[in-house]
Amino acid sequence: MVKPLSKQSAKGSGLVDRSLSLRARSSAGNTWLSSGSSERDSADRTGETQPLEYRVLETEEQVGQAMLDEIRHAWRQKQQDLVIVLLGGRGAQSLHRQLGELAAKGTEDRMLASLKVFTQDALAPMRMDNSFSFVRDFERLLGNEFFAKVKCFTPMRTDAIDLEAELARYVEDLQGAGGIDIFFLGHGPESGGASHLAYIKPNSGARASDLAGVIPISQSILEHHISKFRAGGAAVNQSDEPECRRASHIMTLGPAAILGARRLIQSIVDAGTAPAKRESYRRVLEAKLSSDPDERLRQLVANPGLWIRQHRNAVSLILPDVLQA
């Protein structure tokens, strides 16, 4: 089994506040690392609500191809290091397979060598080699040659003793890499037709200035995580499931990381196995967000899937069944 790889040196935990002015705050039992100074500032930074562009593609393979083309396009325009945040689980598995095949062919090694790859969320505490870790799934699909060719691969360390300090270090590494060029997102259904992005849960108190957070895990999240690994064909080690079920928290990037990305690419390919995504995605498409910043922030806290509507350069890549009634 391939070990988690990183060509970036660990800068140590803590002390991030001196370079990013991060501050930790608690909200409903969640800890958020924020770059803002006040609730007023956070409400003002939500910005104007945007219509959400979406493209309907016929197959999961086509969705993966469109995601790969987005990387190619961004690299051609930038012609230097490209920072991408990978999506775990089913939504981007076709992209990961295609990136692995590209690495094996060796036809676009210059582009691959420019990639600084980060991950967006993780269950913790958990051993990094647990088969229910996103890192294990990335290794399975991307393959050894991909990891050998990219500039760096930086996962969240779920085996850290101090999760908050680890997440602060992670945010420092991400910002030090030059900011996010492409943030690959999924769409997670929640009760009442709400949804989450990354693992920003409804009513977890996330604000526009929050770069990352450590939030308590729920039984529904655990079941969803385990079921999507199985549905996606992951090489699941049954002996690791008990440890996965003991995970108590989720480390996740927050709204500020999403809004700060230069491009958001959302993929939704599993409405067949997660039919609640149809209603929750339609709510994101059709929601009328308030023009009042404070009320809009309350809407975003209640339904974090709506954060994508605050970004000026976002697109959803979906299969036809996502729009079925």
CATH number at residue 104: 3.40.50.1360
- Residue 308 burial (CB < 10 Å; 0-12/13-18/19+)? buried
Per-residue pLDDT of the chain (325 residues; tens, 9 = 90+): 333 334 333 333 333 333 457 899 999 899 999 876 555 555 556 677 899 999 999 999 999 999 999 999 999 999 899 999 999 878 899 999 999 999 999 999 999 999 999 999 999 999 999 988 889 889 989 999 999 999 999 999 999 999 999 999 999 999 999 999 999 999 999 999 999 999 999 999 999 999 999 999 988 778 878 887 777 677 777 789 899 999 999 999 999 999 999 999 999 999 998 899 999 999 999 999 999 999 999 999 999 999 999 999 999 999 999 999 7
- Residue 312 burial (CB < 10 Å; 0-12/13-18/19+)? exposed
Angle between helices 93-105 and 60-78 (to 10 degrees): 60
Residue 56 located in a structural domain: yes
Residue 8 located in a structural domain: no
Tokens coding 158: 């779920």
286 touches 295 (CB < 8 A):
no
Residue 55 located in a structural domain: yes
298 touches 201 (CB < 8 A):
no
Question: In the prediction, which pLDDT does 244 show?
Answer: 92
Helices (H) and strands (E) in the chain, counts: 13, 14
Specify the 3-state DSSP secondary structure of 68.
helix
List % helix, strand, coil for the chain (3-state, nearest 5): 45, 20, 35
Question: In the prediction, which pLDDT does 220 show?
Answer: 77
Tokens coding 237: 């080690």
Total domain count for the chain? 1
Residue 241 located in a structural domain: yes
Provide the CB-side half-sphere exposure for 282 (13 A, CA).
13
- For residue 268, give the H/E element and its range: strand 263-268
Report whether the peptide linkage leading into residue 125 is cis, meaning its omega lies within 30 degrees of zero. yes
Residue 61 located in a structural domain: yes
Tokens coding 272: 């067949």
- For residue 293, what are the domain limits? 22-323
Measure the CA–CA gap between 278 and 253, rounded to whole angstroms. 24
pTM: 0.90
Specify the 3-state DSSP secondary structure of 121.
strand
197 touches 308 (CB < 8 A):
yes
Q: What is the pLDDT of residues 198-213, one digit of tens each?
A: 999 999 999 999 999 9
Longest dimension (CA), the chain: 52
Q: What is the pLDDT of residues 81-126, one digit of tens each?
A: 999 999 987 889 999 999 999 999 999 999 999 999 999 999 999 9
Measure the CA–CA gap between 209 and 259, rounded to whole angstroms. 9
Q: Looking at the chain, how many residues does it have?
A: 325
5 touches 147 (CB < 8 A):
yes
Residue 1 located in a structural domain: no
146 touches 264 (CB < 8 A):
no
Residue 9 located in a structural domain: no
Question: In the prediction, which pLDDT does 45 show?
Answer: 65
Return the DSSP state at 115: E
Angle between helices 134-142 and 93-105 (to 10 degrees): 40
Q: Which amino acid is at 89?
A: G
- For residue 50, give the H/E element and its range: none
Beta strands 195-196 and 188-189 are antiparallel
Report in angstroms the alpha-carbon separations of 38 from 77, 234, 236: 36, 42, 44
Residue 160 located in a structural domain: yes
Measure the CA–CA gap between 21 and 18, rounded to whole angstroms. 6
